[in-house]
Amino acid sequence: MRFIFAAFLLAGAAGPANATFLSTDPSTVCSYLTNSGLATRGWKNQYDNEFGCSSPYKDIGTGAPLANNLAFYVEGGPSEAKLVKLVLNINNKALAASAYAELLKAAQALSPKLTGKKLPSEISSAITNGKKASANAGVTQIEVMRIDWPTGKGHEVKVFFQE
């Protein structure tokens, strides 16, 4: 019986120490970029036991037929945010630099709120150049991915913060 109680205490003590986000409360995390023009529509059950929130796409500059745009997503369980991402669509390659700058600004605002740390320089550089990279902010894994569209007319750059 003492062994079970000790194991329970150790498991409980290890839980918060393993958390990589400063807060995993969905309403808190979903509100992190409201002041950056990326307010979400609130935490919702998307299907089965998968929950999340997302912002509408925010247009950056102009473009025909579409402007570059940025959105903010949070995914997780019923009461816990586990994955946070920014998604930038480059629809107008001529204005990609200003869109990358907007993505960088959002990631720099998000990182200290999620991790308590500044955005790592490797991630900042990857965003600025529309390239892929990964690094840690504390114990939170941050990854930048670039996906070139088969049409050759654009690409997307995603920044993931993984719990």
pLDDT at 54: 98
Q: How many CB atoms lie within 10 A of CB 146?
A: 17
Q: Pairing state of beta strands 68-77 and 58-60? A: antiparallel
Q: What are 48-63's pLDDT values in tens digits? A: 989 999 999 999 988 7
pLDDT at 10: 35
Query: What is the model's pTM?
Result: 0.86
Q: Which two tokens stand for residue 117?
A: 């740390």
pLDDT at 17: 40
pLDDT at 154: 94
> Residues in the chain with pLDDT < 50?
1-18
pLDDT at 19: 54
- DSSP codes, 35-79: GGT------EEEETTEEEEEPPPEEES--SS--EEEEEEEEEETT
